[in-house]
Structure 1
């Protein structure tokens, strides 16, 4: 057990390094929504943040996670948000190692596999409710495997019920658990040694289906999930798997390798989970990290071959020194970055220009900037933010056309008092030469224009 704890501790510096900058626009409006939910003791039902869709019905697919972020922000500002998210990432790493241990992997090999996979996952380990999905899927796989292994499956079923209820209220992606459980039943029934447990898996499927309804929107969760997908066609993370992207290709290849290994071993639960994640990844690249995370424990077990262990033993001193050097460097970087923990990524967000926005201004803004404006300037109404399911694909597309300077200024900026857009955008170039707009603030990330 000591070796497994050391493997997990070696992962923590990389967690802190990732937590340095908050780079996702979602994080900021989720914090403000969490604060709003806490203040009014109810979930918002209409949009309070924009002037383009203000007052329209709004369904929150992560109300519980928003509250967690809101509480973290109230306790310690954005540093608290970053630390809360870092804790969730640490749990993800711990679950990967626990599953690898359950599969008989070596702690040294598992640590290496986890650290090799971490750079591939870095972009996805941001302060967003998807962190809950990663934890929940890994935990569900562990519980489903226990349904096969333990003598009294009642307590794993109870744990699955609790997990599903918590999951669906933190993030509405709990239907993924239903799919994994459903495919697991088919594979359990096909294998003679596990067929006798099929009744327990049917019970698990029923539990995940019923417990997924224990949320403020009930059965409306499914319709809301489908709406998010249909209204996100212009968002990169909702695009299908792109084999021309090297990062996606490597992640997908490792996931497929994990699927092949799990299938050859006859591991019904891991095969089902990785298969469902593979299908999800083909449909939307945002599922890729789940695909890879599920494959890592399987790959760690596969790599813990006797020949590999003999090589490790023969090169123990060299490998120990190398691993120690990597961890020490990571610790140094993490410590150096501590003063910047939780800051909005300065390469993406214009903090000074957001502060310079006139009070009460109706702002036309770039898609990425909306979330931080909502958090830091609640007195300012935005034109769009990353709640693409609220705005719809048509409004988001129109906003991008205005940003590119492809429409008439009077028509595209009708109703806006000020504009916050990247200086490289077509709209910024046109506003600099317009007699109707005045440049008030300029940064490398954005320029703020005020209507004269």
Structure 2
């Protein structure tokens, strides 16, 4: 074997070793999540997200008015995340809630793989995959059966490729615009793609100044095309407008847990991680440039303002600063790892790369089949109200129902018109959500009584901890059903 052939073989072994490192980490994450598969079905919105997708598959029409509530029936409403909802519905059709959980877990595992792969471009594989695993573990509180999960692999690719292009002082890859279209149809956070592209452009500007006007012009053109191609959406500009409406805030934002500001008491592990990251940046003397520093400040601000955006900080900051870490700390770099002689174990795995990938695929398919037949995942009983709904069906309860917020999703899924549900980005505004919240206060009984009359409520489905329960007793309503999670009230005789 000549030197050229030996060099090619060594490079191939190195790439395969990196791939196996990343694949192994993704499999570990999938295994951990599979052991707690039910945790991804705790969100009450999972119910209606799946239902919207199922309705689209059945009707092949894009809704323009609300078909699911009686309080806002006929009001403008769009399924702006239709593609993500269709994916959830297809998974549900294929395997019920097990299918939904499996799809979410596979998507998260793919995110781990991609994060590890991009980080290992600059850092030693073992460090890269450790960072990828820790970063994705830290954002586990937002792992739910909702469309935003499908954007995680996209945002990792988008950020890594754009900052790489800026670092190499070349035009952004035009094929990334396809990701914008996909992102726009999956979830409303697609406008983040514009912001990330802008920061990558600033990073290029910080490196080159105005010395390369033709290159800067390409970046400006790319930035202008991002919002333009995002209009390739069934609802066109309405999707962007709906996103901005939430971004600027509405009456529901302060009342929804995921939209609230970061609270260290609720997320102590994430607080420790942020403080450790800040400590590391301060004592290491890492130089990252003003554009990347601004990007870190932006992701941290958005996270502290709204906990749902924790993934921006934990997933994207490692990608953005990996090159500087590798350059300023060569012992941690992929270059140092490449200079090392591959040990026997690495060679063993790399030379059996295809066999390992094939075995992993077989095991994955087998695990999915076994889990699908023996281990049934169900949504949280805190959101399903299964016993209460079974009682309502057996008693033929009809008429308008006043429901607790967390039961809105399951009512939609079961074809019952809601009083309120999780679609507060577009509906239940104009003072409605604020009033609903005020009915739970100590002086809320008059407001509750007014709402019952205004909307002709025929029965109430409340969570066991709903603060309005004493008011129903005081108003003479009869408790017809109760379990550990739900209570049903009927008007008194």
Q: Is TM-score (shorter-chain normalized) higher than 0.5?
A: yes
Match of 2:242 in 1: 224
What do the CA deviations read for 1:236-287 (whole angstroms, capped 9, x no partner)?
222234456535534544665798889724596x656544423422432221
Q: Counterparts of 1:5 and 1:424 in 2: how far apart (Å)? A: 44
State the TM-score, normalized to the length of structure 2.
Answer: 0.76
Residues 5-404 of structure 1: pairs in structure 2 closer than 5 A: 5-21=23-39, 22-102=41-121, 104-148=122-166, 156-158=173-175, 160-192=176-208, 196=212, 197-229=215-247, 230-231=249-250, 232-242=253-263, 245=266, 246-247=268-269, 249-250=271-272, 252-253=274-275, 264-266=287-289, 273-297=295-319, 302=325, 306=331, 341-357=376-392, 358-375=396-413, 377-378=414-415, 380-389=416-425, 390-392=427-429, 394-404=431-441
Q: Is the 8 A contact 2:445 2:471 kept in 1?
A: no
Q: Counterparts of 2:408 and 2:259 in 1: how far apart (Å)? A: 19
What do the CA deviations read for 1:336-379 (whole angstroms, capped 9, x no partner)?
9995554111345422112222454421111111101211x20x
Going from structure 1 to structure 2, the CA distance change for 1:15 and 1:338 (only over 3 Å counts) comes to farther
Range moving further from structure 2, 213-222 or 190-199: 190-199
Q: Counterparts of 2:153 and 2:49 in 1: how far apart (Å)? A: 19
Q: Counterparts of 1:346 and 1:202 in 2: how far apart (Å)? A: 50
Q: Is the 8 A contact 2:167 2:204 kept in 1?
A: no
Deviation at 1:166, TM superposition (A): 0.5
State the TM-score, normalized to the length of structure 1.
Answer: 0.82
Q: Is the 8 A contact 1:168 1:212 kept in 2?
A: yes
Q: Counterparts of 1:400 and 1:293 in 2: how far apart (Å)? A: 34
What do the CA deviations read for 1:6-41 (whole angstroms, capped 9, x no partner)?
222222212323532311111111111111112221
Going from structure 1 to structure 2, the CA distance change for 1:65 and 1:190 (only over 3 Å counts) comes to same
Going from structure 1 to structure 2, the CA distance change for 1:130 and 1:443 (only over 3 Å counts) comes to same
CA RMSD of aligned residues (A): 3.5
Going from structure 1 to structure 2, the CA distance change for 1:107 and 1:195 (only over 3 Å counts) comes to farther
Going from structure 1 to structure 2, the CA distance change for 1:195 and 1:13 (only over 3 Å counts) comes to farther
Going from structure 1 to structure 2, the CA distance change for 1:266 and 1:5 (only over 3 Å counts) comes to farther
Going from structure 1 to structure 2, the CA distance change for 1:66 and 1:418 (only over 3 Å counts) comes to same
Q: Is the 8 A contact 2:108 2:149 kept in 1?
A: yes
Range moving further from structure 2, 299-308 or 289-298: 299-308
Q: Counterparts of 1:419 and 1:124 in 2: how far apart (Å)? A: 30
Task: Name stretches of at least 5 consecutive residues in structure 2 with no aligned partner.
Answer: 1-17, 341-363
Task: Name stretches of at least 5 consecutive residues in structure 1 with no aligned partner.
Answer: 314-330
Q: Counterparts of 1:336 and 1:227 in 2: how far apart (Å)? A: 41
Match of 1:318 in 2: none
Q: Is the 8 A contact 1:73 1:81 kept in 2?
A: yes
Q: Is the 8 A contact 2:44 2:406 kept in 1?
A: yes
Q: Is the 8 A contact 2:169 2:204 kept in 1?
A: no
Range moving further from structure 2, 92-101 or 222-231: 222-231
Q: Counterparts of 1:291 and 1:6 in 2: how far apart (Å)? A: 24
Q: Counterparts of 1:217 and 1:170 in 2: how far apart (Å)? A: 13
